[in-house]
Amino acid sequence: MNETAKLHAQTRTYQATERTEQNDAAIKLFHQATGIGFYEQFPAEEKFAEVLTLTYAQRMRVSMVFDLAAPSASRHAAHPVHTYGTFPGSLNAGGNSLVPVHKITAVTVAPSYRRRGLLTEQITADLHYAQEARYPLAALSASEATIYGRYGFEPATYQTRFKLKCAQGLKLRVKIPGQVVEIDPALFEEEFADLADRAMKATFGSIDSSAFDDGYALGRWDSWETMDKPKNLRFAAYYDAGGTLGGFVTYKFAGWDEPTEKLVVHKLIATSDSARFKLFEYLGNHDLIKEVHGQGPLADPLRQVLANARDYEVRSVDDALWLRVLNVVDAFQARQYLRNAKVVLSIRDRLNLISGDYLFEVSDGSAHIAQISSDSNLPDLPQVSLDERDLAGLYLGTLSLQQLLASGRAELAGTETSAEVLQMFDVVNEAFTPHSF
């Protein structure tokens, strides 16, 4: 299609809450178009019932844009040119309760319809919808790093992909009590559900797992695209000295044809660092295995407990979770604080969702936040100007106020401020997100 051809766009949105033939047909078309957009195949017809079940379990809201002027021979005469899905979730931001988040997923635009404003129109409308629905935050995993910043999203967590050298076994500097046992996943569902909930609440930066994530961890399917049952997966769980379940790992042998004999972690969740260490110790002490491939936070504490720190080799560093603030008061009052401080943040938002001046008063680990008028007379308080992306970077402590000011991404009215203000958004531990979506 010529990019200058007129586009007669029509958006159709369906809520996967009530099973109807119309919703089922629309969801099937949505997943088919999403698979094409990500260069993936489509599940076989007999497996699509599982896709529908998962979509309804996640209460997805699916939107598709159709070109009513597409030529009759075009695939887009019947199929959408743009897909966009959302579903509700929650985030561990370190506060007393989990924070509701509006998860965004399955965003595709057909090649001949790119750069025609489809995503901008869709995501702008959706963020307003999410704000009206009282979500403090929107969240996504980005396949491209340059797209979502213009809509106010900023990376909030990162992960390393690493390999552990273990040709001579993996030795730790600490002795961790308890045991790792091999698991039959068919007998483990109830224990796993409880573990997943406890691990999420124990992991700062974690997003809740979905029904798909749980089935993926238990080896029911390998991807949304095929819903095939993965082959040769193995499962193990860690129980501490008191018999309490503390972690679970799904892993796979990569095959004898690989240059190096290795185990690859499929999914790992744990309620503590010790549980995670014990699971990697178990993986690294399999016979004939020379490497274990896994994921972890940037400042991975696993490296600190290895007898040989050089056994840990970073393969890549990736952004994991992106956040966008939709309600400053609700979002930032839900997180935890380490410093008592007062500051006024003046936020410039390109979509005008959260533009304004906000007074932050932090005491005893919690914040009271109020939007104030621009002419409020607060001469004794530091005032910092920043945009909506930088605010999102502060949320889980990925960026500090000191870093933003030093780099010029934020501006301070005046010439100096206290260390308490500069450190007021800092966190104890790095945020980590075990689940993507």
Look at phi and psi of residue 275 and say left if phi exceeds 0, alpha if psi is from -120 to 50, else beta: alpha
pLDDT of residue 374: 78
pLDDT of residue 3: 43
76 Cβ partners below 8 Å, 6+ apart? Answer: 66, 67, 70, 110, 113
Mean model confidence pLDDT for the chain: 94
pLDDT of residue 6: 62
pLDDT tens, 210-240? Answer: 999 999 999 999 988 889 999 999 999 999 9
pLDDT of residue 2: 38
What phi and psi values does residue 54 have, to the nearest 5 degrees?
-65, -40
pLDDT of residue 415: 67
pTM: 0.94
pLDDT of residue 47: 87
Which residue positions in the chain have pLDDT lower than 50?
1-4
Look at phi and psi of residue 88 and say left if phi exceeds 0, alpha if psi is from -120 to 50, else beta: beta
What phi and psi values does residue 169 have, to the nearest 5 degrees?
90, 160
pLDDT of residue 165: 97
